[in-house]
Structure 1
Amino acid sequence: MTINWLSLVIGVVIGLLIMGALVWLMMPSMMLVRHKTGQGYGDVLAKLNEILSKKGDWKVVHTNDYQQTTANFAALEKVCSVNVCNLRYAARILDEDGNRGVTAFMPLSLGVYEDKHGKVYISQLNVGLLGMMFGGTIAKVMKMAGKDINEVVGSIIALK
């Protein structure tokens, strides 16, 4: 049996292109997840603060109110990002010099926004998936952080 090397190479290249296209198309929905809440904007923010204050080592660092800060440029519905941090997790990651580049996306943020129809959503980064791209301590810690954030968001969207 002879192998047609040209056919093999073409097949591998086509397979890689198809795989790359699928990853390109699927990655946004895998990395950024949004949940409809069934509650009011203010209620979601209050609940988020309440739940995080009870979840050990987590705290709300800051809330960015984009409706207010962009008022000179656009009339937006209610929209904010809530910066949240687990100081114990942050310390584990930042303890290693090589990990400090991830400060570019620290602290974690949750988006809370109201659409044009008055529906309120929470959006979140898939922290566990993001961490897998880095490996090592970052992957381990971000997996735990992702689990915690999923629990917080899950408890909010479970409320009706």
Structure 2
Amino acid sequence: MQQKAMIFITGLVTGILLSFLVIFLTVPKMLFTVSESNYNFTETIERIEQSVQENNWSMPHQYNLQATLSKHGFEVKPVRVFSICKPDLAARLLTGDADRQLSAMMPCRIAIFEKSDGKTYITRINAGLLSKLLGAHAKAVMGEAGEGSEEILAPLID
């Protein structure tokens, strides 16, 4: 009987450890979506700005991380971060207290960067995956925001 208990406990601990290992190795890669742009860095920026307007979103802020870091003595390849917003979606999350904590992730962010291979990439949070971890109301709104971000980027990626 004692041997069966040890086998059970060993199997349980091994299963838990393997589960944590799988989560640790896969989840970080799933949290962000990275796509290669069909355009160079400058044209990608221009096309995103245009697509944001065409999809009736706003872009309250734009961050040039390369320029910011350069001011502090660091040289990095070009990186731009766009804060994009769909006010009606934001209002749906912020009007009640239940989902206000999500304001830490608002507005939606899209980053454009170059890698050493000379190609331009677009990255964003995987809102669809993240929304599955939230309550029903936040899940619906975050799902819509994720779909909207993907529509904005669709003309730029394959």
Does structure 1 residue 60 correspond to structure 2 residue 82?
Answer: no
TM-score when scaled to structure 1?
0.89
Aligned to 1:146: 146
Alpha-carbon distance, 1:93 to partner:
0.9
In the alignment, the residues of structure 2 paired with residue 157 and residue 82 of structure 1 have an alpha-carbon distance, to the nearest angstrom, of: 17
Q: Distance in 1 between matches of 2:95 and 2:5?
A: 49
Give the distance between the partners of 1:135 and 1:16, measured in 2 at CA.
Answer: 26
Which residue identity lines up with residue 59 of structure 2 in the other structure? V
So what's the TM-score if we normalise by structure 2? 0.90
How far residue 135 of structure 1 moved from its aligned partner, in angstroms, is 2.1
Q: Aligned Cα RMSD in Å?
A: 1.6
1:9 to partner: Cα distance: 3.1
Q: Find the counterpart in structure 1 of residue 29 from structure 2.
A: 29
Matches within 5 A, 1:85-100: 85-100=85-100
1:137 & 1:77 partners in 2: Cα distance? 39
Gaps of 5+ in 2: none
Instruction: Kindly report which structure 2 residues correspond to 1:62-81, keeping only aligned pairs within 5 A, or say none.
Output: 62-71=61-70, 72-81=72-81
Superposed counterparts of 1:74-153, under 5 Å: 74-153=74-153
CA distance in 2, matches of 1:86, 1:53: 11
Aligned partner of residue 123 in structure 2, secondary structure? strand
Q: After the TM superposition, which parts of structure 1 deviate over 4 Å for at least 4 consecutive aligned residues?
A: none
- Structure 1 unaligned blocks of 5 or more: none
1:49 is matched with which residue?
49
Q: Partners in 2 of 1:73 and 1:115 — Cα distance? A: 20
User: Deviation at 1:55?
Assistant: 1.0
* Amino acid in structure 2 at the alignment position of 1:62: H
State the one-letter code of the partner of 2:65: Y
- How many angstroms apart in 1 are the aligned matches of 2:154 and 2:25? 26
* Aligned residue type for 1:59: S
Q: Which residue of 2 aligns with 1:40?
A: 40
Please state whether the residue corresponding to 1:22 is helix, strand or coil: helix
Q: Tell me which amino acid in the other structure corresponds to 1:33.
A: T
CA deviation after TM superposition for structure 1 residue 4, in Å: 3.0
Local SS of the residue matching 2:157: helix
What is the CA distance between 1:120 and its match in structure 2? 0.6
The whole-number CA distance in structure 2 between the counterparts of 1:136 and 1:89 is: 14
Deviation by residue 1:27-48 (Cα, 9 ceiling, x = unmatched):
1110112111131111111111
Identity of aligned residues (%): 25
CA distance in 1, matches of 2:120, 2:52: 19
Equivalent residue of 2:98, what SS?
helix
Code of the aligned partner of 1:47: R
